[in-house]
Chain A
Amino acid sequence: MSEHIVPVRVYITIFAVLLIGTALTVVAAFVDFPWRFNTIVALTIATIKATFVVLYFMHVRYSTRLIWVIFAAALFWMAILFALTFSDYQTRKWDRDRTSGFVILY
C-alpha cells in the first residue's frame, strides 16, 4: 500500500468544521439545557472534533488495519478506566453523604 496523499480541500473542510465546532460549543455553553445535557453536548462536540482530527489530519482513515487496532485499544483502555472507577465511586454511600449534590453534574 503506497502512501495516501490527502487532498488540500479535505484539510480545508476539516479546518472549517473544527472552527464551527468551537463556535458551537461556546454558544451551547451559555444555553441552560435541562438535566446534564450541557456536559453531554460539550463532550459530543469535542468528540466529533477529535474524530475529524484523528481520521483526516492524522490520516487514520487511510491507514492500515494495525493502526486502527492500536487506536481502538487506547479507547478501550479509557473505557475500562472510567467504567470501573465510576462503578466503584457511584456505589459508595459515604461519598454521597459527604457532599450535597454528588451525582449532579454541572
Chain B
Amino acid sequence: MEQQREAGTLGMWIFLVTEIMFFGGMFLAYALYRTQYPAAFASGSNHLDIYLGAVNTGVLILSSFTMAMAVYFTQVGNRRPQIFCLVLTLLLGLTFLGIKAVEYHQKYEDHLIPGHLIPGNPFDPEVQEEGRPLDHHKLHLLTGATVAQVEMFYWIYFAMTGMHALHMIIGAGLLTFLLIYSLKGRFDPEYHSPVEVIGLYWHFVDIVWIFLFPLLYLLGRHYH
C-alpha cells in the first residue's frame, strides 16, 4: 500500500516536471521579449489592474492553504472538515476565475485584446497624450515604447494567464471529482492518493501564479 501511494505521488511529480517545462517555455518567451522591449513591457504592465491582481494572488494562496488542510484532514480521517476544505478550495478557485474574467473584460473594453482574437475588436488602444487629463482607459506609453511592442506584451500576458486559467478550470473539475468521491466516503487515512496528488497539482498552479503576478503586474510600477 505504501509503495502504491509513493508510485502515485511520483507519477504526479513527473507530470509536474513536464508542466514546468511547458510553462518554462512561456517564461522564456516573456524574458526574451522583455529584454528587447523593456519600456513597452513596463507600459503594458502598468495598465493592468494591480488591485485585482494582488487580491487574486491572496485568493489563490488561501485556496492553496485550504487544499493543504483538505489533505491533512483526509490523512487524519476527519471527513467533515475535509469536505468543508474541498468546498472552500473549489469556491476560491472559482473566485479567482471570476476576478480574472472581470480583468479580461476590462482589457476587452480598452481594445487591448491582441491581434484579431476577438473579431471586430482588434488591438487598438487609445494612447494617453502628454498634458491631457489622465484617463485610466488610455494606454500610457513610457519613453521608447510603441503600441506594436505593447501588443507583444499583451500576447504574452494573455497566453500565460490564459494557460494558467485553463489549468485552474481543469483543477476546479478535479476538485469537483474529489468532492463527489469524498461525499461517497471513498477516501480514508489508508487510501487517499487522489486527494494528495490533485493537491500537488493545485499547489503547482499556485506557484505559477506566484511568479506571474510580479512579472506581469508589477514590473513597471516604480516609474511614476
Contacts and interface: CB of A to CB of B under 8 A. Distances in A.
A100 B144 CA distance: 8
B88 interface: no
Interface stretch (B32-40, B95-103, B132-140): B32-40
B58 interface: yes
A25 B72 contact: no
Given A18-B61, A19-B61, A71 B13 contact: yes
Nearest to A69: B13
Most buried by B among A85, A104, A106: A106
A89 B21 contact: no
Contact of A2 (B2, B57, B211, B222): B2
A58 B38 contact: no
B223 to A, nearest CB: 7
**From DSSP, what is the main secondary structure of chain A's interface residues?**
helix
A101 B223 CA distance: 16
A101 B2 contact: no
Contact of B221 (A29, A56, A73, A85): A29
Contacts of B111: none
B91 interface: no
Given A58-B203, A106-B41, A29 B218 contact: yes
Interface stretch (B3-11, B113-121, B122-130, B160-168): B3-11
Contacts of B64: 15, 18, 53, 57
Interface of B: 2, 5-6, 9-10, 13-14, 16-17, 20-21, 24-25, 28, 31-32, 34-39, 41-42, 50, 54, 57-58, 61-62, 64-65, 67-69, 72, 75-76, 144, 199-200, 203-204, 206-207, 210-211, 213-215, 218-224
